[in-house]
Amino acid sequence: MSENTALDLASIRAAHARIARYINRTPVVTSSTLDASAGASLFFKCENLQKVGAFKARGATNAVFSLADAEAARGVVTHSSGNHGAALARAAQLRGIPAYIVMPSNAPRTKQDAVKRYGGTVIFCEPTQASREETAQRVLQDTGAVLIHAFDDMRVMAGQGTTAVELLESVGDLDVILCPVGGGGLLSGVAVAAKALAPDIKVIAVEPAGADDTAQSFKIGRFVPGSPPKSIADGLLTTLCERTFAEIRRHVDDVVTVSEAGIVQSMRSLWQVLKLVVEPSGAVAYAAIVENRVEIAGKKVGVILSGGNLDLDKLPWQ
């Protein structure tokens, strides 16, 4: 698919066929203990067990393997402080092409190491959005590589939507899907796929109260960048773009926010009960249940655990 192809079920299914051999079909996990606590039937889609430890492997792999051979030969470039950089480096390594990952100078060493482990070339920049974008543009000009944005790219969004295809193939009669939102790539793809496969399903986005640009934009019906975000859920600190917000307006039913304490409590519960290591961003969707932010009594609820890349030396409850 091209970067300008419409985001629909056909493009998401095509993405699934394209990437299936390169990603994990992650499990859907249940717990009678957590069901009883919630008063609902919960189905956790474990993208924390995905390649590179996050759903980002889906979109990056679809984007890289969508490129024509002549395009791909020049390599790919992105700016990322986290999971997308590693995912793009891995996808490029699988295709045998260069990957140039612009990272802020203060990016965690573990995330720098992940990019390098997959063969990506790290180019450092100042820790500002402007510096990230300017540095990536310079690398583009110097290398002729193709820009693969972390979420403002239809190929990436289609890849992320395969999460919902798998979830609904595993549990076909869900009433609700809870999905975290940062830049909106995962939410856009999930909402489009879910509504196409199950028109009556409710798709509810969840984000930290300290990074609530989606909730604010959704409420007033137009995209407004929020105030500087602050949350333990570092993967959700990116703001939306017009492309993702357009899909969210069309297909998402509601946006709710959760507290920092709720995120931490959810991480602990998932660890203790499901024996799953989930990063703060990945626990946000479940936090909406823990904090009673959604009406789910008696319903079947899909909960997307989007990632598991957690620094075990800095656990938030220590």
What residue spans define the domains of the chain? Answer: 9-55+153-305, 57-147
**Structure confidence at residue 287 (pLDDT):** 98
- Note whether 9-55+153-305 and 57-147 share their fold: yes
Assigned CATH for 9-55+153-305: 3.40.50.1100
- Biggest CA–CA distance in the chain, Å, is 57
DSSP string, 265-276: HHHHHHHHHH--
Q: For residue 306, indicate whether it is catalytic.
A: yes
**DSSP character for 104?**
E
| Mean pLDDT, residues 82-104 | 95
22-33 pLDDT, tens digit per residue, is 999 999 999 999
**Structure confidence at residue 127 (pLDDT):** 83
Q: Say whether pLDDT at 234 is over 90.
A: no
Catalytic residue among 41, 81, 231, 306: 306
134-180 pLDDT, tens digit per residue, is 999 999 999 999 999 999 999 999 999 999 999 999 998 999 999 99
Copy the structure tokens of residue 224.
């407004």
Any idea which of 13-22, 41-50, 101-110, 192-201 has the lowest mean pLDDT? 101-110
Give which of 237, 240, 254 is closest to 157, Cα–Cα: 240
| Helix ranges, the chain (H) | 9-19, 32-38, 56-66, 69-73, 83-95, 109-117, 129-143, 154-170, 185-197, 213-220, 242-251, 260-274, 280-290
* CA 296 – CA 155 distance, rounded (Å): 32
Q: Is 131 exposed, middle or buried (0-12, 13-18, 19+ CB in 10 A)?
A: middle
9-21 pLDDT, tens digit per residue, is 999 999 999 999 9
Decide if 220 contacts 226 (C-beta within 8 A).
no
Specify the 3-state DSSP secondary structure of 145: coil
Which pTM value belongs to this model? 0.94
Give which of 186, 213, 195 is closest to 305, Cα–Cα: 186
* CA 197 – CA 203 distance, rounded (Å): 12
Q: For residue 56, indicate whether it is catalytic.
A: yes
Specify the 3-state DSSP secondary structure of 226: coil
Residue type, 189: G
**DSSP character for 181?**
-
Catalytic residue among 56, 111, 195, 202: 56
Looking at the structure, give the CATH architecture of the domain made up of residues 57-147.
3-Layer(aba) Sandwich (3.40)
* CA 290 – CA 258 distance, rounded (Å): 9
Q: Say whether pLDDT at 1 is over 70.
A: no
